[in-house]
């Protein structure tokens, strides 16, 4: 099982995952098996595959049939399932509430989010590598 996919049952667990992964993209998929068993099963299979490929995304599945939300924080979403919501650094970076083509749409969004994040990591890494190389060169020149 991937270390970047979670099925959670409490809002407090979601809050903890978001807090502990603040600098990673977090993709939350809200579903209900009771509303559409076939779609629920298809989403589960697709998310397992995506989480193995997009290892930098945190993928969270919330099944409202088993989710405890005492303050009704997600009441608007609950009425509009399936639903996709994504965060990065605490900011909403994407949503999808289209029941038509839900799986292809979220697959595409998750891929875009992952690729953007990896690209930024590579840019930051390359800048750090260049800075280290320049510092070594300065050391050798001024030695």
Q: What is the tens place of the pLDDT at every residue in 15-74?
A: 899 899 999 999 999 999 888 888 889 998 999 999 999 999 999 999 999 898 778 888
Question: Looking at 32-107, which runs of residues are DSSP E strands?
Answer: 58-63, 83-88, 91-96
pTM of the predicted protein model: 0.82
Looking at residue 82, what DSSP letter applies?
S
List, in order, residues 6 or more apart from 11 with CB less than 8 Å away: 67, 68, 69, 70, 71, 73, 74
Domains annotated on the chain, with CATH: 5-142 (3.40.30.10)
> Nearest-CA neighbor of 83 among 37, 41, 43?
43
Say what the pLDDT of residue 116 is. Answer: 92
- Please report the beta strands in 16-128, taking only residues with DSSP state E, as ranges in sequence order: 26-31, 58-63, 83-88, 91-96
pLDDT number for residue 124: 83
Distance CA 140, CA 136 (A): 6
Q: Give pLDDT tens digits for 72-124.
A: 888 888 888 999 999 999 899 989 988 889 999 999 999 999 999 999 888 88
């Amino acid at each position: 099982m991937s270390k970047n996919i979670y099925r959670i049952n409490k809002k407090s667990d979601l809050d903890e995952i978001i807090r502990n992964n603040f600098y990673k993209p977090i993709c939350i998929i809200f579903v209900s098996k009771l509303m559409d068993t076939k779609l629920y099963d298809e989403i589960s299979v697709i998310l397992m595959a995506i989480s193995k490929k997009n290892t930098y995304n945190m993928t969270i599945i919330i099944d409202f049939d088993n989710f405890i939300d005492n303050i009704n924080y997600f009441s608007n979403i609950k009425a509009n399932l399936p639903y996709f919501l994504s965060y990065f650094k605490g900011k909403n970076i994407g949503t999808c509430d289209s029941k038509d083509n839900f799986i292809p749409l979220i697959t595409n969004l998750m891929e875009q989010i992952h690729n953007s994040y990896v690209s930024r990591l590579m840019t930051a890494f390359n800048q750090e590598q260049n800075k280290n190389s320049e510092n070594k060169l300065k050391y050798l020149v001024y030695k």
